[in-house]
Amino acid sequence: MDKVTCGMITEDYVSFETAKLLKEKGFDGDGSHFYENKKIVSFVDYWNRITPYERYCAIECPTLQMTMKWLREVHNQIIVPGVRIEDPISGIINGYIAGIWYIPKNNGGAFCYTSPTPYNGYPSFEEACEAAIKYCLENLI
């Protein structure tokens, strides 16, 4: 996962690997940022210097928020981020996980968590979101 800072605001973008999965699944966002050699570049810097074929192959780089909105609105995959894992014995916070509410083929709702282990999460909120997005793209769509 990458960050781009614009003034005081830092945007969190999906990783290059997740961006490739999004392209395979038909994601079409606002086109403001793309990956070039696995680095994020703005539309203006990128689009004017590449060929039409390279434009066809371009990998769009959406924010985590844009991706979660697309998953929710297009695929009924709702990511519920920010659940902190606390070890019940020690009381130590071990990180974040993200849950996914999704509508399976039989129209009954289902919920699952993404986490490395039941009592060990991701170090940041954003990493938990990225993992849930990737899980949706690889397993639910």
**Domain ranges for the chain:** 2-140
pLDDT digits (tens, 9 = 90+) for 101-118: 877 666 666 767 666 555
Cα–Cα distance for residue pair 7/113, rounded to 1 Å:
34
Residue 68 has a pLDDT of 93
Q: Is 61 exposed, middle or buried (0-12, 13-18, 19+ CB in 10 A)?
A: buried
pLDDT digits (tens, 9 = 90+) for 6-41: 544 567 999 999 999 999 999 988 878 888 888 888
Q: Average pLDDT in the 59-65 region?
A: 92
Token representation of residue 45: 């810097």
Q: Name the pTM for this structure.
A: 0.79
